[in-house]
Structure 1
Amino acid sequence: MGNGSSLDSSKVIYVEINGKEEKIVFSRNCSTLDIVDFLRKQQELCRMSLKDKAGAHVTISPTMPTNTAANPYKLVAKEVKRVDPRQEILQNVLTQVAEQFNRAFKVEETRTELTNRLNVLERRLEVDNLKAIEIEKCKKDISELKTQLYNNTKKLVDYNSLSALSDDGKISLKRDVPSYPKYTLSQETVDYLKQPTFDMWHWEPNEMLSLLEHMYHELGLIQEFNINPITLKRWLLCVQENYRNNPFHNFRHCFCVTQMMYGMIHLCDLWGKLPKEDLGIMLTACVCHDLDHPGYNNTYQINARTELAVRYNDISPLENHHCAVAFQILSNPETNIFANVDSTTFKRIRSVTTDMTHHAKIMEDFTEYFTKFDPKNKAHAMIMLILATDMARHSEILEAFKSKIDNFDFSNEDHVNSMKMVLVKCCDISNEVRPMEVSEPWVDCLLEEYFNQSDREKQEGLPVAPFMDRDKVTKPTAQIGFIKFVLIPMFDTVAKLFPPLENVMVRPLKDARDRYEEMKETQNNISVGSYFIGCCSHLGIKVGALGLNGG
């Protein structure tokens, strides 16, 4: 979803060096080698290690746990063994023998030849890497030019109409688009990827593509759907290219939602309760759930009478558009990850098992469309899950799921579909489940997108929602109600079916609610204080004369 404007890019740790406590501040973007070199210079050590107060070793890396001044880490020097004089004599003898051996068998000439060959290979690799860098730079330049073009023309042209007219051009993936580099993931990263605490801000787009690819391999979806690994790479690249550079609804948000779903699959042991086909559908729905999002919500689309709203009769225009783009990408043989499944399986992937009672309520104007499907058939799977992310349907979907919790049956298709919709919804709005340093930048991104929309609505004379108005909303007021009345009730319900989520998701949400309420109270106190001082100044009264100067 883009970088948050208030993202704190530094990290603080306390280290005891030479018996003296030192405070060290470093950027989250620096490498492990940078931190090691810095610590080594402080004590002029060749080898060293970092230990906590209990004597446990601490890994030196940007992700090391933060500590406090009361519990500093200790920098410990490792002894370097001195070389025995006898070993030095033996080394000299071996050196002389090696020289004679070189003269006799021309080893030096062979070494030189091998070195030259290695240099040629290194130069070749360097050229290839430069080509890859140039390609990435070109892609970035093209993206910036697109953004600049939009900024120059948005006052004259309807941005949503442009999007609808250019779908075909955007969805096609050129054959010469390079695949992203292959990254080898450490076991630490593999384990971390399954946690709701995962910090996606430290990962570049190419790295996120590799992590998504790993999810499909690790869950066994490559074998389940007989996916060509090259096609998977092309599909992921095409998906990335069809997410816009919005402050919030962008490719990083796509990755964030998918990673949370991947984590929930493991935390809830879903791979032991659902078939792999269902896991693949849920993961793919998360990847595609906001494709080509224009950065303006359904309310704007409907009030502004955009082409998307007209096309879908004001019924979930964005979610319907995301579905359409997803299946347009899959209609291209080069990017169709489901190309090798039989027609029946593909119909299940695209279709939904339908309890049409709630669909009919919201999509009553689509009666003709729905008559094509058997209400008892397993149809619209991906479409159902993506349409479920429309917040206008939140209460309806959650209440349907609540009614099934007490007697939930994993063999009941209607129960499982209701659960899948709620899980996708949870992942879509799960930012506050994550640690504060990960979640808070997302709030800034979302508010930026809201403010962009409300500014445009004011310019066009359209209704403005109070929670989007930069003159009325603050960060705590934006989050408190959402966490209390939307997130906690939904995650609390899911935790009844999956108890492990109580500690790892519901508890962090309650902590986030308390934190924002404290933030709101602090802001209110500051506002009251400023107002009081302003009144005193207006009346010519000195605050100190009232004994309120803190003395």
Structure 2
Amino acid sequence: MEGQTPRGSGMSMKIIYFMINGKLERAEFRADCSATEVKELFRAAAEAEPHHILKMYNMSGTVVNISPRLEANSADSCYRLEVVASDLQSVAMPPELEKMECRLHQLERKVIEDMAKTPEIICELKNQVESFKKKLENVEHLGWMGLLREGNHRHSKAPPKARASHLSVQEERLRVRMKFLNMSSLQVTEEVREHLKTPTFDNWQWEEAEMLVLLQVMYTDLDFLTAFQIEPEALQNFLFEVYCHYNNIPFHNFQHCFCVTQMMYGLIWLTDLRNKLSRVDLLIMLTSALCHDLDHPGYNNVYQINAQTDLALRYNDISPLENHHCAVAFGILAKPECNILKNLSNEQYKLIRGGMIKCILATDMSRHNEILNKFKAMQPVFNFTNKEHKEVLMKIMVKVSDISNEARPMEVAEPWLDCLLQEFFNQSDTEKLKGLPVTPFMDRDKVSKPSSQTSFIRFVLLPLFTELTKLFPCLEQHILEPVRRALEYYSDMEKATKEEEGAKP
């Protein structure tokens, strides 16, 4: 690889050229460096503090991950390094967090040393054991499936990344909370703020604490704090509690929550809804997107009903998951320290509560055609001042945001499909294990990656996105065209797969 030179130790070195503050710099590190060491190297080059947010951009302006896997380059194809959040006031890192990070660094160094001494076959075996161990740890959330019946059982709500570390769920949450609070007073750059308003935003480049900061930016830039007298501390507590109530499952996790909320935020700006709907309506839509999958167990409504889980029994088989998401959301808001609605009148609170319940219940896909047909019927005479028209539009906006991954760039969208299929296959495996009806589009023996998408895009996404685009023509280039390209991509993949299978003897 260009930019790599051998050293006496036999370990190759990676050379990275990058611009910082208008000056060309060169960084050199071993290929076996830890992610922390690489980030610290660039943090030093940027003269950034530990709580600042760094981002690296390639020649095309796309954010790239700062890690040992960073692709070596030349001076002609240098990266651009920026501090995207600058200090407003000096924030000291708590001693507990310093000790925790120090311990993590020690463990990371030890793992790297041990791996260097371990034969390759043992390393592979070790990885397989770790992978299986994570699967076993994941059974905590099976209580919602009826496999665990302890009345006071609490299941994990840690995000996916928490399991990858040596920290407990509580320690990981503390780490995220401290990092979020330390960064919450930072000023996010205008470039990032503008990018946050677009469907091309790449969620994979941001950590949980950074996503919490960006969610805070959304509430701030839509002027919700001023309009509804929301205290910054209450907003931070609310956002953190929402983060804690998303589970460690492949798809319906905190990152999905962030993506849906970010898409809703982008659509609000792209369609100029700030001048078409009231501030209360915007708060309802954004907060519904944020809370729409709270405490999702990773098994859909069909499973809940067939398995007669506690959720299905509690909600009489009527949208059990969506009713649960609503209940968890208002449970969080019932905590005084998290109540972002506490300074509103009773009338405003009832309006927001009613609106959120309608929007979140609308994400039940069994109601998809009902809601879409209503929207189609009112399309020719749509009126933003008509209460019924407005309510259906708000449901449509939340629905579009919820299933909008294919409107994103392929490199952002495709990993999400892998996560979704993993969650689907987990469900069908469990259905087979328990002798329940197997959901056809989740059966790993019948579903392929392209086949799972072509029908969904053709019969669900395109009709929905087309109707919304009729009301907002500007969305054609932003969400409708990318979805059409995704259909073409997966159709070609499906065709190639069939041809390959047909050519086999």
TM-score (norm 2): 0.72
Displacement of 1:161 = 5.0
* Aligned mates of 1:472, 1:346 — CA distance in 2: 47
Check the 8 A contact 2:450/2:494 in 1, yes or no: yes
* Aligned mates of 1:123, 1:234 — CA distance in 2: 18
In structure 2, stretches of 5+ residues that fail to align are 4-13, 30-54, 63-72, 79-89, 106-131, 159-169
What residue identity is the alignment partner of 1:158?
A: G
Asked if 1:329 corresponds to 2:332, the answer is: yes
Check the 8 A contact 1:196/1:504 in 2, yes or no: yes
For 1:488, the equivalent position in structure 2 comes to 462
For 2:57, the equivalent position in structure 1 comes to 61
- Give the fraction of aligned pairs with identical amino acids, expressed as a percent: 45
What residue identity is the alignment partner of 1:130?
A: E
* Aligned mates of 1:130, 1:294 — CA distance in 2: 33
What residue identity is the alignment partner of 1:235?
A: F
Q: Which has the larger radius of gyration?
A: 1
Query: In structure 1, the residue corresponding to 2:230 is in which secondary structure?
Result: coil
* Aligned mates of 1:524, 1:203 — CA distance in 2: 37
Displacement of 1:188 = 1.2
What residue identity is the alignment partner of 2:328?
A: V
Shift in CA distance, 444/63, structure 1 to aligned 2, threshold 3 Å: farther
For 2:230, the equivalent position in structure 1 comes to 227
* Aligned mates of 1:400, 1:123 — CA distance in 2: 51
For 1:111, the equivalent position in structure 2 comes to none
Shift in CA distance, 392/75, structure 1 to aligned 2, threshold 3 Å: same
For 2:450, the equivalent position in structure 1 comes to 476
1:448-475 CA deviation, whole Å, 9 max, x = no partner?
A: 0000000000000001122101111011
Displacement of 1:128 = 6.8
Check the 8 A contact 1:32/1:61 in 2, yes or no: no
Aligned partner (choices 143, 158, 169) of residue 146 of structure 2? 158
1:275-311 CA deviation, whole Å, 9 max, x = no partner?
A: 1111011000000000000000000000000010011
Query: In structure 2, the residue corresponding to 1:180 is in which secondary structure?
Result: helix
1:200-224 CA deviation, whole Å, 9 max, x = no partner?
A: 0000000000000000000000112
For 2:485, the equivalent position in structure 1 comes to 511
* Aligned mates of 1:136, 1:220 — CA distance in 2: 39
The 5 Å alignment of 1:150-549 reads 150-151=138-139, 158=146, 166=154, 178=178, 180-182=181-183, 183-351=186-354, 381-530=355-504, 534=505
Check the 8 A contact 2:157/2:244 in 1, yes or no: no
In structure 1, stretches of 5+ residues that fail to align are 1-11, 16-25, 42-58, 67-71, 78-121, 138-143, 352-380, 535-551
Query: In structure 2, the residue corresponding to 1:75 is in which secondary structure?
Result: helix
* Aligned mates of 1:266, 1:27 — CA distance in 2: 40
For 1:20, the equivalent position in structure 2 comes to none
Check the 8 A contact 1:32/1:60 in 2, yes or no: no
Shift in CA distance, 491/148, structure 1 to aligned 2, threshold 3 Å: same
Check the 8 A contact 2:264/2:401 in 1, yes or no: yes
1:88-146 CA deviation, whole Å, 9 max, x = no partner?
A: xxxxxxxxxxxxxxxxxxxxxxxxxxxxxxxxxx9975857515747999xxxxxx999
Aligned partner (choices 124, 130, 142) of residue 98 of structure 2? 130
Displacement of 1:268 = 0.2
Displacement of 1:329 = 0.6
1:30-59 CA deviation, whole Å, 9 max, x = no partner?
A: 9977x9645899xxxxxxxxxxxxxxxxx9
Check the 8 A contact 1:488/1:506 in 2, yes or no: yes
Check the 8 A contact 1:262/1:283 in 2, yes or no: yes
Check the 8 A contact 1:231/1:337 in 2, yes or no: yes
Query: In structure 2, the residue corresponding to 1:181 is in which secondary structure?
Result: helix
* Aligned mates of 1:277, 1:191 — CA distance in 2: 23
Shift in CA distance, 157/39, structure 1 to aligned 2, threshold 3 Å: closer
For 1:87, the equivalent position in structure 2 comes to none
Displacement of 1:187 = 1.4
Shift in CA distance, 432/164, structure 1 to aligned 2, threshold 3 Å: farther
Check the 8 A contact 2:145/2:309 in 1, yes or no: no
Displacement of 1:338 = 0.5
* Aligned mates of 1:527, 1:145 — CA distance in 2: 35
Check the 8 A contact 2:400/2:464 in 1, yes or no: yes
Displacement of 1:225 = 1.4
Query: In structure 1, the residue corresponding to 2:187 is in which secondary structure?
Result: coil
* Aligned mates of 2:190, 2:417 — CA distance in 1: 31
What residue identity is the alignment partner of 1:151?
A: V
* Aligned mates of 1:153, 1:390 — CA distance in 2: 21
* Aligned mates of 1:432, 1:163 — CA distance in 2: 39
* Aligned mates of 1:469, 1:36 — CA distance in 2: 52
Shift in CA distance, 443/125, structure 1 to aligned 2, threshold 3 Å: closer
What residue identity is the alignment partner of 1:201?
A: W
Displacement of 1:185 = 1.3
* Aligned mates of 1:181, 1:261 — CA distance in 2: 26
Check the 8 A contact 1:297/1:318 in 2, yes or no: yes
1:257-278 CA deviation, whole Å, 9 max, x = no partner?
A: 0000000000000001011111
Displacement of 1:489 = 0.6
Query: In structure 2, the residue corresponding to 1:339 is in which secondary structure?
Result: coil
RMSD (CA atoms): 3.9
Shift in CA distance, 256/460, structure 1 to aligned 2, threshold 3 Å: same
* Aligned mates of 1:314, 1:387 — CA distance in 2: 13
